[in-house]
Amino acid sequence: MTGSAVTVGALAAVTAQLVLVVGGAPLLAGLMRQVRARLEGRVGAGVGQPWRDLRKQLGKEAIRPDGSSWVFTAAPRVLLASTLLIAAVAPFLSTVSPLDGVADLFAVVALLLLGTVALAVAGLDTGTAFGGMGASREITVAALAEPTILLAGFALSARVGSSNLAALVEGMLTAPGQVLSPASLLAAVAFAVVVVAETGRLPVDNPATHLELTMIHEAMVLEYAGRDLALVELASALRLTVLLGLGANLFLPWGVATTASPLPLLGAAMLFAVKVVAFGAALAAFEVFMAKWRLFRVPELLAGSFLFGLLAVSASFFLA
């Protein structure tokens, strides 16, 4: 293939990846709710309910609290834009991408932290007790979760000598036996705990509650309404999909295309959807049997995941 053909194929892969992630993220959230409803003996609202909610919210006016500044208005857009950028650069479908140079582990973690900080600052900008409480709790979680993502990724990058996400996936595809290595297993456990914390799932947070003593994410977005709330909800679903997709392709990379040809990309899209749906359903089923932990125990859980990350880095050097 010529250079122009490769570039066109790579651009098509990025476009298809964005369409798949953006279109599928609300459906994944709906599927997880449906799994929980079925396991709890309820009928559920259906897999497509999040898309219906987004359509309804987008048609409503965005109401902003008195005294809030441009920070409150900009936060949903920053959160959505940073998550969309991760969805575009991450090797979900193919390791061949014109944005490959941006797909660095440190850049991805920085983008995740940017969205978290933007929403936390917006919670403080409202001047309400709920917003300040949620922002404080969110930053506490992020301070322990973001370094753990770096450690888990560094444990994988130590073998390939690069922090580029595409290089990590290609390295795992080249040596599939590394999937069951101690470093990979420890890093996978650390990353799984971080996904639960970063997306506000049980036992760290309960996305279905508005109880003052337990909520973290919901406390920061209580003042949002209409189009702004739709952006926040879409960004939250995208964040969940992106983190599950990163976990699926970093630790189970089979099916990721190494070219920009149409047939490999189609197969990669199908396998990516299957892996993310399986992980999402497993997480939803796990939540049914878990209770919400007290807030002072959440740092203990995240500290444990950080320890697993350290052990993974140590194993990558000493047990290579």
Q: Do residues 79 and 228 touch, judged by C-beta distance below 8 A?
A: no
Using alpha carbons only, give the angle 255, 79, 112 rounded to the nearest 5 degrees. Answer: 55
Could you please report the per-residue DSSP string of 221-237? STT--HHHHHHHHHHHH
Report pLDDT for 210.
60
Q: Do residues 223 and 131 touch, judged by C-beta distance below 8 A?
A: yes
Report pLDDT for 274.
96
Q: Do residues 189 and 305 touch, judged by C-beta distance below 8 A?
A: yes
Mean per-residue pLDDT for 239-249? 95
> pTM of this prediction?
0.92
- At 174, the pLDDT band (50, 70, 90 cuts) reads confident
pLDDT for residue 240 is more than 60: yes
41: left (phi over 0), alpha (psi -120 to 50) or beta: left
Could you please report the per-residue DSSP string of 266-302? HHHHHHHHHHHHHHHHHHHHHHHT-PPPPGGGHHHHH
The residues, ordered by sequence, that sit 6+ positions from 86 with a Cβ below 8 Å of its Cβ are 108, 111, 112, 242
The number of beta carbons lying within 10 Å of the beta carbon of residue 129 is 10
State the residue for tokens 């259906």.
Answer: 46
Q: How far is CA 304 from the centre of its chain?
A: 20
| Cis bond upstream, residue 203 (ω within 30) | yes
- The model's pLDDT over 109-157, given as tens digits with 9 standing for 90+, comes to 999 999 999 999 998 998 888 888 888 888 989 988 999 999 999 999 8
Report pLDDT for 116.
93
More confidently predicted of 259 and 252: 252
pLDDT for residue 320 is more than 60: no
Q: Do residues 210 and 118 touch, judged by C-beta distance below 8 A?
A: no
- The model's pLDDT over 58-112, given as tens digits with 9 standing for 90+, comes to 989 888 888 888 999 999 999 999 999 999 999 999 888 777 767 889 999 999 9
Ramachandran angles phi, psi of 91, nearest 5°: -80, 70
Q: Do residues 230 and 80 touch, judged by C-beta distance below 8 A?
A: no
Distance CA 199, CA 236 (A): 7
Six token digits for residue 196? 């639960």
36: left (phi over 0), alpha (psi -120 to 50) or beta: alpha
Using alpha carbons only, give the angle 54, 276, 310 rounded to the nearest 5 degrees. Answer: 115
Single-letter amino acid code for the residue at 264: P
What is the number of alpha carbons within 13 Å of residue 285 lying toward its C-beta?
6
State the residue for tokens 């650390």.
Answer: 190
Six token digits for residue 33? 């709710």
Single-letter amino acid code for the residue at 234: L
Q: How far is CA 154 from the centre of its chain?
A: 18
CA-CA-CA-CA torsion sign (158, 161, 165, 169): negative
The domain segmentation of the chain, as residue ranges, is 3-318
Single-letter amino acid code for the residue at 286: F
The residues, ordered by sequence, that sit 6+ positions from 205 with a Cβ below 8 Å of its Cβ are 197, 214, 215, 216, 217, 218, 292
